[in-house]
Structure 1
């Protein structure tokens, strides 16, 4: 490794401490790195220019406050946690919306089209893999066990489905949408159990996801970096372990061969290099697929697991695209 020239471009926000773990490894390996937040940096002095011409000619330059990067010499792009494209401060609302949209399609389009770069993961592939219905369909095709699920905006369908689940049913949001109360307080929508009697006609305003509750003995998070898998068993008093992470505990766990093969098939279908998979595991050892985040967090895991994932990511970014 390390024989491929070019820098690693890391797209993330300034407060992303998870990225710092990998960047320290790349620095130790003397791999050049440029860190850039496309949603926040340009108004502060950074600039991005791309030129296109006949015969497929493509050149470009990224300038930050500390680096100048030739876009044709990027070996890898790590799409971590860039800020959303927001209107520049102080700009009128209609002008700001226009500017933010132009940045999304212009800056985002340039950064997603770097010739010969290895993406972990490509931003368009991340978006494709974020749709829950697509995840469930791909998981089934990949050989995972998938809980019975319905996505509907029909209250009668929802009540009928939930009443037929012998172990009960849960509700899950289809996307981690921002939700605020009438007073403006932010609220997180967690996975929770559902009584069919509480389902009202309000379901009709948008699609809702209801799923059979898995009689789990514990949860598992599997982080995949290429063909390397890192599993942790999660013990939590909550149905949704993310709700009170201070009460959960986790320890490394082996990933069974059939599950590992399904992970590989799933990543291949979405053309992903990285993914974090969540499973509910029953007392008889059945692993039920819950979801996969193509850009999930991982640095909260036990130190040994976190270090191993960071090393695997550094390896991916250092090697660049396969030739």
Structure 2
């Protein structure tokens, strides 16, 4: 019997755990590989013979050899090992060699994972990790516009002088990473980068940075997409000063109201065309409903969290994903 392979992480992956629970409920066999532990010999023993095209993985936790030749369907929940940098305070000396070695170790680990992913090209991927890695925020905005979606006015600048050109247009701006945000941690907790309003330019020259118009929003939309189906949630974040610019700056004492939402057919058609163009069967889409009624597209995250949409809206997305994987496996035998 063929099995489903789930590539994920051991930590901070409650949605993966729930999908696995549903697969167990249906009695469907699966294998789970955690990318944050696959390189740790305490959890897995790995041997690859490139000349003989042999790949062996022994799961030490469950005391079993993983037979990858039986795999037909892969759910690529996490495709690279995320590295959390340690925050260095001003009192600590930064050792350049330590930083260089950490980067080298991360690069070696991630390259090993890509070898693992490419070893069996006949696997049916959801989604193929190389397609997910190609997702580029600027390119996605260009494609979204091509498919009839409205996008924010977007700029990239690296100096106060450049920003003044935008200010002359009387634009209120926000700034966010061009690529992806970074998560840091220290003994006190974890910290992430969030979208921030631009109040005043105090550094003459800086790294090229992304700026967009600060949209007057009625509410935000987080939309989970799965194989042509949409599961939208409206987030009323504009009423809180803490979440007004970015709902991820969560207000745990006064949480945003989140409710199911119905997207216009024209928006669904444009989003479907976009996801097809990106070769994505699933992903989390961020949009804004402007106070003037327009729908503004922001970005697509191919591995975005969907538990935060599933529970408030009673969508049972973990069940939907599990059933989708089962259907894909059954198609391989049809």
TM bin, normalised by shorter chain, reads 0.7 to 0.9
In structure 2, C-alpha distance between the alignment counterparts of 1:245 and 1:123, rounded to whole Å: 33
Give the conservation status (yes or no) of the 8 Å contact 1:38–1:108: no
* Equivalent position SS for 2:248: coil
| Structure 1 counterpart of 2:16 | 19
Distance apart, 1:179 and its partner CA: 5.7
Query: Which position in structure 2 is the counterpart of 1:123?
Result: 129
Contact 2:309 2:315 in 1 (8 A): no
Sort the Cα spacing of 1:248 and 1:37 in 2 relative to 1 into closer, same or farther, 3 A.
Answer: same
Q: 1:263 aligns to what SS in structure 2?
A: helix
Among candidates 5, 8, 30, match of residue 4 of structure 2: 8
Higher mean alpha-carbon deviation, 281-290 vs 312-321, is at 312-321
Superposed CA deviations along residues 112-155 of structure 1, whole A, max 9, x for unmatched, are 443322222222222211x2212211211222100111012243
- TM superposition shift of 1:101: 3.3
| Cα displacement (A) at 1:32 | 1.0
- The within-5 A match list for 1:142-291 is 142-166=147-171, 168-174=172-178, 175-178=180-183, 187-195=191-199, 198-202=200-204, 204-236=205-237, 237=240, 238-246=244-252, 247-291=255-299
The CA distance in 1 between the partners of 2:173 and 2:57, in whole Å, is: 50
Instruction: Report how many residues are paired.
Output: 305
Distance in 1 (CA, whole Å) between partners of 2:285 and 2:103 is 35
What residue in structure 1 maps to residue 324 of structure 2? Answer: 316
SS of 2:17's partner is helix
- 1:30 paired with 2:27, answer yes
> Scaled by the length of structure 1, what TM-score is found?
0.83
Instruction: Give the root-mean-square deviation of aligned CA atoms.
Output: 2.9
Give the structure-2-normalised TM-score.
0.80
Go from structure 1 to structure 2 and tell me whether the alpha carbon gap of 1:50 and 1:214 turns closer, same or farther (over 3 Å shift).
same
Where does the alignment leave 5 or more consecutive residues of structure 1 unmatched? Answer: 87-91
2:277 match: secondary structure: helix
- 2:81, 2:107 → 1: CA distance? 14
- Say if 2:109 is the partner of 1:84: no
Q: Which residues of structure 2 form unaligned runs of 5+?
A: 85-96
Other-structure match for 2:112: 106
Structure with the higher helix share, 1 or 2: 1
Q: Secondary structure at the match of 1:289?
A: strand
Q: CA deviation at 1:172?
A: 1.5
